[in-house]
Amino acid sequence: MAIRLGNSCLNCDNLIEGDYCKVHEINVSERHTCDSFEMKAVLKDNPDCTTCSRYEGPTCAHPQKASPGMMCSHWAPQRAQA
């Protein structure tokens, strides 16, 4: 079985401002997902510290080393931006 990032509305490209799903035209949350899920390109193409929700925060596993181009096993996707 493949191991993958959690596919939730928060990292879906179809989520727009106001936690609104442009496909289903309803408000959604991190608890939701669906078969129309599309991983945000910024997360799919550039997973590193700068796209990690822990970057420069108190839960970063390597605060002295975290930088663009680096990532570690604690990487977590950022909340999707509209």
Contacts of 11 (CB under 8 A, 6+ apart): 5, 39, 40, 43, 77, 78, 79, 80
Strands across the sheet with 15-16, in order? 15-16, 20-21, 26-27
Question: Quick one: 43 or 54, whose CB is closer to ligand SF4?
Answer: 54
Site for ligand SF4 in 48-77 (CB under 6 A): 49, 52, 54-55, 60-62, 66, 70-72, 74-75
Q: Does residue 24 bind ligand SF4 (CB under 6 A)?
A: yes
Binding site for ligand SF4 (CB under 6 A): 9, 12, 14-15, 21, 23-24, 28, 32-34, 36-37, 49, 52, 54-55, 60-62, 66, 70-72, 74-75
